[in-house]
Structure 1
């Protein structure tokens, strides 16, 4: 059977800047392709070319006869006055579905996408539910291939799991632009990286994302060896050319042509191999005290609804909290409490004196009238970073911006570029506490890797809200799970919280097991560890060592004679000791679970 989509030697440029050149890509029955690549490589453009929304500058895209192609853009917006039923009815009409079949199809679509209230106003839905509605519209078409551009950006963790299940059971092919590594691992059966480092403009690997990483590393190593070998041969030929050979014989002329060909090939390889990465390194303050914020029996109610109650938590330097829960469970509200924007309904929040907090908002609020130059350096042509002055052009280059972009308006930047601008601004502010609300949206995988390393090295405390499960597992020393109905429970990792979710009767159960009783969960399966569990297992020993060090430090503080005679200091030290002991108990319990499951 011919491919559903067949793109041959297509190229696309914006102005003088080429996005991709002469690339070829086919989409066949059963393909679930994860399309990745650095920001600016042209992933979204390629997807819209495959969808027929844009035309390539050269080459062609052939669609199999009678094949249906559905496309879901990054952002989904609906005009006022339309409810969910209206949107789906319109899609059914446009897809020429018989009117007497509409009600049955509506019920089926609502069931598949989780919509209970079809009268809800589409424009008032959260970003995650608007994404679900856009996917429901696409499914109306009964597509042969579904093209999804960053579908997980606006979905919460429950929504991502829903989408994974939907795609795994789907009878259609998919091409998905995503930077969510666990999502790619769970859904994709092929990975395509669009990147100019490859001679064909892309690398396609059959298998899961973990297999792609292995194959990509093998390619990079082989390419590096070939590049070095060619470099050595070019040196020899350049020395020969410098001696001024005469092109009087066919043999000499052929060698001169070959030498120039090798020089051009090496220049091309060097050009393609030049990879720039964003330089991310958050500044810590000079604070010596470790205890930053203490929550004591904190409760919060909004509109008569209890989001969480009796929350006790101590934030100390080195604490890295992954804050999880469904949309509306209170994550952003808790961040606002920590910032001091609002007060708790009951309980107390104690902050260290002169606490410095840096906040990354998921709204990415930047004055769109600013140029990139002013957004990066508001007060002149230089910034002060870690005590030294850096010119704005150098500061921009650190975040992968060119000098030509400095006078470009901020509103012309992509989502990933706007995220890098915000990170650049935040890095100029020394912090005791980082509050990061969905910082990973639109960031490419290399930038995510660098962000992770920076957060791991940050000596202060941080609270991370993200749907990136890989980042949660790698960064968090503890996970705080909110269910939106009053419960706030601590877990050793995102994976453990997810296990509890799966074992609970409903995802919104108001009673969660304590973290140190997580071993009571059903772990009798003899199958090998999942990819997510294997990643957790690979880092848990290091996390236990870190937790042990915090416990030892907490014991030393309690036993310090100067602390023992100060009632307030002793109370704080005992609270830190209790938190450290709880964390280590939880980690050991999880370690035992994973060890048993791994056999």
Structure 2
């Protein structure tokens, strides 16, 4: 069958600024495409063109005959007075679903999104539930392809897991713009990065996000080698030109033309190879106090409702806390307590003297009417960054803002640009305790990676609220998890909290049946756990060390393959590659055995 969507030679600009030029993009049955790229690359615009909501400046878009396209925008809004039922019924009618099937489809869909009451007014739902409803609205009419623009925004961790399952089980193709790397890994069968660093304007790789990272690095390495090769050739041609060849000779003229072509090609490759990354570095106060905040038997109430009860928690210097829980569980409320915007209803919140707290709010509050210059430097044309006076233009450039943007009002900035402004402002404030409430929203993956590195280098204490599971895993040294029912507990990492939360919220298994003898019988549905034998227990105790040793051998083998002296010697390279394959096989075998023993140990 032909592709569902087939776009060729698409170009789009905003004013004089080109977003993309002459790109090709196809979507076929079964595709689950993760669409990524830096802020401003034109991802959302491309999705609107594919959805038929915007026209390209040039190029063609062919849609397969009778194909249905579902489109979910970044912001999910519904008309006042419209109920969930109204929204879904309108979608069923627009999708020409038979009248006899509509009620069944409606009930099935509302159940799948977890909304049993379809009489609720859609506009009054929380951001997360509105997002779920918008996705259901697009799915209910059985589209051939579903286009999703930042669908994980506003979804809590349970909502993200729900969406992953929906996409993995759906019969429709999908194109998903997201910066959630775990989501991309779990859902995507292809990754497309829209970025001007690529000669074709984009890079498309079959496989998961981790496969894409490998392919992208290989591409960038090849481009670096191409640039070096062109540079050497251009150097030779320039030396030849300097010797003053006679342009009248046919061969000389052809070589002059070739030299100019090489110079132009080198210029293009060099321009693409130049990376544009935000340079972020949070500043701590180098405070020596160990205990910064102590929460003793704290209960927090909001609007007469108990958000958290009997919370005991200690924040020490250098601690990086991931604060997790479902939407409405009280994460932002706890940050407000730490910031002294709220007092505990019971218990004690004790803070170290003169504690300097810097807070990043998820509401992204910025003075709309002021210029970017005044948002960064309210009183002068310079800022003090890490003890040095820096001109505001130079400081703004660190966050990829141009000189022209300095005099533009903040209200004209995109969501990602606003996030960068807020981070830039935070960097100017030395802190003992950094409170970050959803800092990852609207940031592209490259900026997320730089932000992660900065948080890892930050020496003060940190409390981080984010739905980005990868960042939680990488940055947090401990996790404070909430269940949404007033309970809180401390965990070593995010997966441990996730398992606890699922156990808390899962329906209770059928009760154990007591036998007449008084012994407790296991539920018929419960698997019988196998026990480790004596030899297996000894193997299990030693296997972690064996895995570490095997990993070390594999790294050594990889380093040998990458050694320039080995790479130019065919015999040595063959030997090194065989050694690396053997080491990789050993690592794979050990990890598989470790997983088997871990499951058996229960």
TM-score between both structures, scaled by the size of structure 2: 0.84
* Match status 1:406 vs 2:406: yes
Per-residue CA shift, 1:220-259, capped at 9, x if unaligned? Answer: 1111111111111111111111111112322222211111
Shift of residue 505 of structure 1? Answer: 5.5
- How far apart are residue 141 of structure 1 and its match? 2.5
Q: CA deviation at 1:307?
A: 2.4
CA distance in 1, matches of 2:531, 2:262: 57
1:97-246 equivalences in 2 (<5 Å): 97-246=97-246
Give 2:51's aligned residue.
51
Deviation at 1:597? 5.9
Aligned equivalents of 1:473 and 1:321: distance in 2? Answer: 11
Instruction: State the SS of the aligned residue for 2:134.
Output: helix
1:34 is aligned to 2:34 = yes
Q: Distance in 1 between matches of 2:16 and 2:232?
A: 34
Deviation string 1:306-345 (CA, Å, 9 cap, x unpaired) is: 3222211111111111111100111111111111111112
Tell me what 1:559 maps to. none
Partners of 1:147 and 1:458 lie apart in 2 by 38
SS across alignment from 1:363: coil
Which residue number corresponds to residue 363 of structure 2? 363
Write the distance in 2 (CA, Å) between the matches of 1:387 and 1:356.
Answer: 17
Match of 1:338 in 2: 338
- Structure showing greater radius of gyration is 2
* Match of residue 80 from structure 1: 80
Q: CA deviation at 1:524?
A: 8.2
* Closer, same or farther: CA 460–86 of 1 in aligned 2, 3 Å: same
Query: Structure 1 residue 121: deviation in Å?
Result: 2.0
How far apart are residue 347 of structure 1 and its match?
0.9
Q: Is the 8 A contact 1:485 1:508 kept in 2?
A: no
Report the counterpart of residue 295 of structure 1 in structure 2.
295
Q: Deviations over 1:10-35 (max 9, x none)?
A: 00000000000000010000000000
Aligned partners of 2:149 and 2:337: how far apart in 1? 34
176-185 or 332-341, which moves further after superposition? 332-341
Contact kept, 8 Å, 1:483 with 1:508, in 2: the verdict is no
CA contact (8 A) 1:523 1:593 kept: no
**What are the Cα deviations for residues 105-159 of structure 1, in whole angstroms up to 9, with x where unaligned?**
2101101211122122211211111111111111133110000000011111000
For 1:514, the equivalent position in structure 2 comes to none
Partner residue, 1:277: 277
Cα distance in structure 2, aligned partners of 1:463 and 1:593: 32
d(CA) in 1 for partners of 2:530, 2:115: 34
Bigger shift: residues 94-103 or 34-43: 94-103
- The yes-or-no answer on 1:473 pairing with 2:473 is yes
Q: Distance in 2 between matches of 1:490 and 1:416?
A: 32
Please say if residues 357 and 431 of structure 1, whose CA atoms lie closer than 8 Å, have aligned partners that are also in contact. yes
> How many angstroms does 1:503 deviate by?
4.1
TM-score by length of 1: 0.84
Give the root-mean-square deviation of aligned CA atoms: 2.4
Partner of 1:531: none
Structure 1 residues 73 and 398, CA, compared in 2 at 3 Å: closer, same or farther?
same
Post-superposition offset of 1:99:
3.7
Match of 1:14 in 2: 14
How far has the Cα of 1:508 moved from its partner?
11
Classify the secondary structure of the residue corresponding to 2:407.
Answer: coil
Cross-structure match for 1:491:
491
Find the counterpart in structure 1 of residue 440 from structure 2: 440
Partner in structure 1 of residue 70 of structure 2? 70
Asked if structure 1 preserves the Cα contact closer than 8 Å seen for 2:298 and 2:348, the reply is yes
Structure 1 residues not aligned, in runs of 5+: 510-520, 527-536, 542-591
Secondary structure at 1:406 match in 2: helix
Q: Contact 1:501–1:507 at 8 Å: present in 2 too?
A: no
The range that moved more, 291-300 or 167-176, is 291-300
For each residue in 1:34-84, what CA deviation from the matched residue of structure 2 results, as whole angstroms up to 9, or x when unmatched? Answer: 000011111011111111111110001110000011111100112322221
